[in-house]
C-alpha cells in the first residue's frame, strides 16, 4: 500500500519528491504523465504533478447550437464538469487504486485547493483512502517537510468558492456573448464573435473610460509667466509662483508690473539631499508593467518568454504575487555566478558588503519574487531560446535583481526662490551625487538639471520675462502598464491571466496597442458605450467585485455553495434583462460600426480579382507574416507570398504587364508584382515603370531620364540610349519632376525641397546647362 500525492504541476512534484526522499527518487511514466516514486518513513510514496486544472465546465452538447437555443435558457441550465485532460484522469485512477492515503499538495490558494479537489473527485471513484492536504507557502526544504509532517483536512469551502466562480463566469460569458453576437447578426452579416466576460469587459471598460475622457475633453486657456535669470556663469529659468493662471487679466497685471525689471534677488535657497531607493523585487504584475514600459513588450509576449526562461532554468517561476524575499533566501550563490560577464562589477560590489534586499510587502505565500537562477550571457540565452527579445527580458530581470540589492541613488536638490519686486519665481535643480542602483538599471535614468551657484540675498540679472498663453491638453492614451495597474488594483484577472484578458480584447478587435499605449477601436468603443447605457455595471470593475464577494462568503463558510449560485444567477439575470430591454439601441449602434469597419478593412486590403475563381483577393496579416489570399477560402485556395519586410502599399492605379495580380510598393525601396516577384528582376520593368523623360539627349537621339539609386544615395540624369551622356542633379532634398516645361529649352522643370523647414522649395529647369545660363543672364 502506498501514499499518493498530487501537486499542481510536474515541476513541483519533482522538487517535493526530492525533498521528501532526501535524493533517492525514481521517475516513471503512466500514460505520458510523470510519477516520482520514493520511500519515506519506510513507506512507498508516489507523487504526480497535475497540469493546473484538468477538469472544466461546459454546457451539455444539446445546448451547443447557438441558433436553436435561446441564450436566456443558459442562465437556468447548470453546466457540467468534465475531465479535459484525459491522460491525467487515467493516471490518477491508476495511482489511487493501490493507495491507502491520498495527499493533495497543490499551491496554497483558492484555485490550488480546487485543482486538488479535481484529483480527489477522480481518485474517489476507485479509492476509499482518506484524503489529506499538505499546505506549504514555498517549495523550500523546511517548509515542505513541515507541511508533510503536519497534514490538515482539505478545505472544501475554499474549493467550492472556485467552483462557484467557474460556473458563474461561464453562465454569464456564454449567455451574454451569444446574445450580443446573435442580435447583431440579425442586422449585419458578420462571422465575428462579440464576446463579453467578467474580466475582459471591465478591462476594455478601462480603455473606454480613458477614451471618453479624451473625446469629452474641453481645452481651456491659461497663462504662464516665466523668467530667464542670468548670473556671470550661466542662465537659469524660473516659473512664477502662480503657476498656470486661468484669468488673462490676472496674468497681464502681474506681467505689466514686472516686465521691465532688470534685477531680481535670491530670496531663499535650500539644498537638500534626497535619495531614491531601488525598486522592490519583481512579482508578475510588476514584471509585466516594467517590460511594457521599458521594453515596449506586450504582457502576453513577456509572460511567454518568462515561461521559456523558467523552463530552461534561467529564471525562477514567473507567476508570483510575492515581492519580498524569504529570510533564508540565498543570494550569495546567484551573485557569485554573476561575477563574470557584463554584470561583474555590480555583483562584486554587492558581495563586498552585507547583502540587503529592499523588500516589498506583498506575500502570496507561493513563490519567491522573479529572479535569475543563474548567470547567462546573450549567447547562452539565444542558443537555448528561440524567441526574439528573450535576451532583453533576461537582461532586464538580471538587472532588476542586482539593482534591488544595491544602495539608493543620491541626489542633491536645490530650490531657489527668486524675487522680482514682490513677485516670486521658483527654480529647481537636481544633481546626481551617487548613481547607486541606477548604475545597473539603464531603464530609468534621470538627467541632471543644473542651477548656477548663487547665495541667498544675491542679485541676479533678469534677462527676459514672458507671459505665454497655452491650452490645457487632453489626457493621454492609457499605456499597457497603466492598464495592468488598473486591473491589479480592481482585482480583474490574476497574475497569470491578466495578459490573456488584454489579448482577448485585441483578438476581438475591441482595442489595439500602438507602441506602449492602448487605443480603443470603434467596435470596442461602441460596444462599451452601448453596454454603459444599458448595463453600466458590466463596463466597470464592479461586476467582478460582486461575484468575488459572493464566493468569498462561500470560502469563509458564511454562505452555502448552492445559495451563491442562486444569488449569482439572479444578478446575471438582472443584467441580462437590462441588456435585452435595450436590444434595439444596442444593435443599431453596433451594426453600423461593424459594417463601417468591415468595409474599411476590406477596402484597405483589397488587392484585385482572383484569377482562379473571380472573387476578391485580399492581403492577410497574421502573427506569422502576411500574404495574399482569396476571399473564397477555403473553397478557393489561391494565394501568393509577399516580401517579409517593409511597409506594403497597394498601388491601385498600376497594372502589371506580365499578369501579376497587383503591384505593391515595398517600403520606399522597390516594386513587387503579386504572384511574380520583385519588378527589378523583370525584363518588362521599363514598360510598367517607364523612365521619367525630362528632355532630349543633346548627344544622340535618345532621351534624358532620372536615375535615382537610393541604395547609393545618388541621383543624376542619364540617356535612354545609353550614349554615356549624363548630367548632375542636386543631391539633397526631395526632388519632384513637374509637369511644366522650361520656356527657354523645353525640358521639364523640377522642384527641390530641402529638409530645412526655413528654406523655400526651389523650382528650376532640369537642364543644368540651361539653368546655369539663365542664372547668369
Partner DNA sequence: GCAAGGTC
Q: Does 77 bind DNA (CB under 7 A)?
A: no
Q: Does 82 bind DNA (CB under 7 A)?
A: no
Nearer to DNA, 53 or 362 (CB): 53
Question: 714: closest CA among 692, 690, 735, 745?
Answer: 735
Q: Does 524 bind DNA (CB under 7 A)?
A: no
Q: Does 733 bind DNA (CB under 7 A)?
A: no
C-alpha cell recorded at residue 552? 468569498
Residues 193 and 181: beta-carbon distance below 8 Å: yes
Q: Does 58 bind DNA (CB under 7 A)?
A: yes
Q: How far is the CB of 369 from DNA (least distance, A)?
A: 16
Residues 245 and 333: beta-carbon distance below 8 Å: no
Q: Does 53 bind DNA (CB under 7 A)?
A: yes
Nearer to DNA, 111 or 423 (CB): 111
How far is the CA of 143 from the CAs of 100, 106, 134, 135, 535, in angstroms? 24, 14, 10, 9, 47
Binding segment for DNA among 54-62, 125-133, 210-218, 759-767 (CB under 7 A)? 54-62
What's the CA angle centered on 161, arms 159 and 162, to 5 degrees?
70
Q: How far is the CB of 64 from DNA (least distance, A)?
A: 6
Residues 747 and 734: beta-carbon distance below 8 Å: no
How far is the CA of 308 from the CAs of 303, 385, 389, 502, in angstroms? 9, 7, 12, 20
Binding segment for DNA among 65-73, 97-105, 253-261, 767-775 (CB under 7 A)? 65-73
Q: Does 52 bind DNA (CB under 7 A)?
A: yes
Q: How far is the CB of 67 from DNA (least distance, A)?
A: 6
C-alpha cell recorded at residue 511? 482595442
Residues 108 and 366: beta-carbon distance below 8 Å: yes
Name which position in 44, 100, 156, 307 contacts DNA (CB under 7 A): 307
Name which position in 57, 117, 287, 314 contacts DNA (CB under 7 A): 57
Upstream peptide bond of 634 is cis (omega within 30 degrees of 0): yes
The length of the chain is: 777
Q: Does 107 bind DNA (CB under 7 A)?
A: yes
Q: Does 337 bind DNA (CB under 7 A)?
A: no
Q: How far is the CB of 48 from DNA (least distance, A)?
A: 12
Name which position in 3, 323, 504, 589 contacts DNA (CB under 7 A): 504
Q: Does 244 bind DNA (CB under 7 A)?
A: no
Name which position in 77, 84, 595, 720 contacts DNA (CB under 7 A): 84
- Which residues are 763's β-sheet partners? 751
Q: How far is the CB of 591 from DNA (least distance, A)?
A: 15
Number of residues interacting with DNA: please give it, by CB under 7 A.
Answer: 52
The footprint of DNA on residues 575-634 (CB under 7 A) is none
Q: How far is the CB of 144 from DNA (least distance, A)?
A: 16
Q: Does 10 bind DNA (CB under 7 A)?
A: yes
377: buried, middle or exposed (CB in 10 Å: 19+, 13-18, 0-12)?
A: middle
Name which position in 29, 41, 62, 67 contacts DNA (CB under 7 A): 67
Q: Does 311 bind DNA (CB under 7 A)?
A: yes
Bin 743: left if φ > 0, else alpha if -120 < ψ < 50, else beta.
Answer: alpha
Q: Which residue has the cell 484525459?
A: 86
Q: Does 535 bind DNA (CB under 7 A)?
A: no
Q: Does 56 bind DNA (CB under 7 A)?
A: yes
Q: Does 494 bind DNA (CB under 7 A)?
A: yes
Q: How far is the CB of 559 from DNA (least distance, A)?
A: 19
Name which position in 40, 85, 378, 449 contacts DNA (CB under 7 A): 85
Name which position in 21, 93, 170, 693 contacts DNA (CB under 7 A): 170
Q: How far is the CB of 332 from DNA (least distance, A)?
A: 27
Question: CB atoms < 10 A from the CB of 260, how many?
Answer: 8
Q: Does 46 bind DNA (CB under 7 A)?
A: no
Cα–Cα dist 261/282, whole Å:
54
C-alpha cell recorded at residue 221? 486657456
Binding segment for DNA among 64-72, 614-622, 628-636, 683-691 (CB under 7 A)? 64-72
| CB burial readout 308-340, b (16+ within 10 A) else e | bbbebebbbbbbbbbbbbeeebebeebbebbee
Alpha-helical segments (H) within 369-478 = 378-384, 390-404
C-alpha cell recorded at residue 70? 435561446
Cα–Cα dist 113/654, whole Å:
64
Nearer to DNA, 77 or 357 (CB): 77
Q: How far is the CB of 684 from DNA (least distance, A)?
A: 46
How far is the CA of 328 from the CAs of 143, 332, 356, 392, 397, in angstroms? 11, 11, 12, 29, 21
Residues 627 and 605: beta-carbon distance below 8 Å: no
The footprint of DNA on residues 173-232 (CB under 7 A) is 173-174, 177-178, 181, 193, 195-201
Nearer to DNA, 182 or 267 (CB): 182
Q: How far is the CB of 307 from DNA (least distance, A)?
A: 5
Contacting residues toward DNA, per CB under 7 A:
8-11, 49, 51-54, 56-59, 64-67, 84-85, 107, 109, 111, 115, 165-166, 169-170, 172-174, 177-178, 181, 193, 195-201, 307, 311, 319, 493-497, 500-501, 504
Amino acid at each position: 500500500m502506498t501514499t499518493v500525492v498530487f501537486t499542481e504541476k510536474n515541476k513541483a512534484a519533482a522538487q517535493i519528491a526530492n525533498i521528501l526522499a532526501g535524493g533517492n527518487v525514481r521517475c516513471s511514466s503512466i500514460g505520458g504523465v510523470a510519477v516520482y516514486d520514493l520511500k519515506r518513513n519506510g513507506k512507498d510514496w508516489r507523487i504526480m504533478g497535475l497540469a493546473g486544472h484538468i477538469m472544466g465546465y461546459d454546457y451539455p452538447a444539446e445546448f451547443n447550437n447557438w441558433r436553436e437555443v435561446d441564450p436566456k435558457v443558459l442562465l437556468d441550465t447548470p453546466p457540467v464538469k468534465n475531465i479535459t485532460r484525459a491522460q491525467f484522469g487515467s493516471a490518477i485512477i491508476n495511482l489511487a487504486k493501490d493507495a491507502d492515503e491520498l495527499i493533495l499538495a497543490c499551491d496554497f490558494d483558492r484555485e490550488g485547493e480546487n485543482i486538488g479537489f479535481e484529483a480527489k473527485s477522480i481518485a474517489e471513484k476507485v479509492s476509499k483512502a482518506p484524503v489529506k492536504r499538505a499546505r506549504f507557502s514555498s517549495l523550500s526544504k523546511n517548509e515542505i517537510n513541515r507541511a508533510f509532517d503536519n497534514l490538515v483536512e482539505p478545505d472544501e469551502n475554499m474549493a467550492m468558492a472556485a467552483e462557484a466562480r467557474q460556473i458563474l463566469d461561464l453562465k454569464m460569458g456564454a449567455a451574454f456573448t451569444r446574445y450580443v453576437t446573435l442580435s447583431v447578426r440579425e442586422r449585419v452579416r458578420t462571422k465575428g464573435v462579440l464576446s463579453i466576460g467578467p474580466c475582459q469587459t471591465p478591462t476594455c471598460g478601462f480603455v473606454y473610460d480613458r477614451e471618453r475622457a479624451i473625446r469629452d475633453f474641453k481645452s481651456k486657456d491659461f497663462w504662464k509667466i516665466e523668467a530667464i535669470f542670468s548670473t556671470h556663469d550661466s542662465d537659469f529659468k524660473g516659473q512664477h509662483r502662480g503657476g498656470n493662471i486661468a484669468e488673462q487679466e490676472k496674468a497681464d497685471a502681474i506681467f505689466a508690473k514686472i516686465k521691465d525689471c532688470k534685477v531680481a534677488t535670491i530670496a531663499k535657497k535650500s539644498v537638500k539631499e534626497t535619495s531614491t531607493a531601488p525598486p522592490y523585487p519583481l512579482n508578475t504584475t510588476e514584471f509585466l508593467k516594467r517590460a511594457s514600459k521599458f521594453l515596449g513588450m506586450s504582457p502576453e509576449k513577456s509572460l511567454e518568454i518568462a515561461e521559456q526562461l523558467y523552463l530552461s532554468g534561467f529564471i525562477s517561476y514567473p507567476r508570483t504575487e510575492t515581492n519580498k524575499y524569504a529570510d533564508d533566501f540565498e543570494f550569495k550563490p546567484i551573485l557569485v555566478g554573476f561575477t563574470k560577464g557584463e554584470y561583474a562589477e555590480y555583483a562584486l560590489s554587492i558581495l563586498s558588503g552585507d547583502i540587503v534586499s529592499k523588500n516589498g510587502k506583498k506575500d502570496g505565500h507561493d513563490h519567491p519574487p522573479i529572479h535569475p537562477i543563474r548567470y547567462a550571457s546573450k549567447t547562452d540565452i539565444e542558443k537555448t531560446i528561440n524567441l526574439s527579445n528573450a535576451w532583453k527580458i533576461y537582461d532586464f530581470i538580471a538587472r532588476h535583481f542586482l539593482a534591488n540589492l544595491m544602495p539608493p541613488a543620491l541626489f542633491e536638490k536645490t530650490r531657489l526662490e527668486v524675487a522680482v519686486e514682490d513677485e516670486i519665481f521658483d527654480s529647481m535643480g537636481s544633481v546626481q551625487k551617487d548613481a547607486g542602483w541606477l548604475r545597473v538599471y539603464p531603464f530609468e535614468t534621470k538627467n541632471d538639471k543644473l542651477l548656477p551657484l548663487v547665495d541667498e540675498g544675491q542679485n541676479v540679472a533678469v534677462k527676459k520675462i514672458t507671459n505665454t498663453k497655452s491650452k490645457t491638453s487632453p489626457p493621454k492614451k492609457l499605456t499597457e502598464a497603466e492598464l495592468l495597474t488598473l486591473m491589479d488594483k480592481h482585482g480583474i484577472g490574476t497574475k497569470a491571466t491578466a495578459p490573456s484578458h488584454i489579448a482577448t480584447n485585441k483578438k476581438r478587435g475591441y482595442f489595439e496597442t500602438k507602441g506602449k499605449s492602448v487605443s480603443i477601436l470603434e467596435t470596442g468603443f461602441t460596444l462599451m458605450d452601448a453596454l454603459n447605457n444599458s448595463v453600466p455595471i458590466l463596463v466597470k470593475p464592479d461586476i467582478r467585485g460582486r461575484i468575488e464577494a459572493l464566493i468569498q462568503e462561500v470560502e469563509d463558510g458564511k454562505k452555502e455553495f448552492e445559495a451563491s449560485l442562486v444569488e449569482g444567477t439572479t444578478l446575471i439575470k438582472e443584467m441580462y434583462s437590462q441588456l435585452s430591454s435595450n436590444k434595439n439601441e444596442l444593435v443599431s449602434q453596433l451594426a453600423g460600426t461593424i459594417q463601417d469597419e468591415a468595409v474599411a478593412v476590406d477596402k484597405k486590403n483589397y488587392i484585385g480579382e482572383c484569377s482562379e475563381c473571380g472573387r476578391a483577393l485580399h492581403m492577410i496579416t497574421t502573427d506569422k507574416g502576411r500574404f495574399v489570399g482569396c476571399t473564397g477560402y477555403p473553397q478557393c485556395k489561391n494565394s501568393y507570398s509577399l516580401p517579409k519586410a517593409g511597409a506594403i502599399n497597394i498601388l491601385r492605379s498600376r497594372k502589371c504587364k506580365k499578369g501579376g495580380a497587383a503591384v505593391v510598393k515595398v517600403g520606399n525601396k522597390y516594386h513587387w508584382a503579386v504572384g511574380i516577384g520583385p519588378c527589378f528582376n523583370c525584363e518588362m520593368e521599363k514598360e510598367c515603370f517607364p523612365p521619367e523623360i525630362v528632355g532630349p539627349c543633346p548627344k544622340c537621339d535618345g532621351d534624358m531620364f532620372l536615375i535615382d539609386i537610393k541604395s547609393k544615395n545618388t541621383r543624376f540624369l542619364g540617356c535612354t540610349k545609353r550614349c554615356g551622356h549624363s548630367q548632375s542633379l542636386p543631391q539633397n532634398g526631395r526632388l519632384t519632376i513637374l509637369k511644366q516645361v522650361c520656356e527657354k529649352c523645353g525640358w521639364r522643370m523640377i522642384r527641390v525641397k530641402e529638409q530645412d523647414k526655413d528654406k523655400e522649395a526651389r523650382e528650376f529647369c532640369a537642364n543644368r546647362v540651361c539653368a546655369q545660363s539663365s542664372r547668369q543672364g
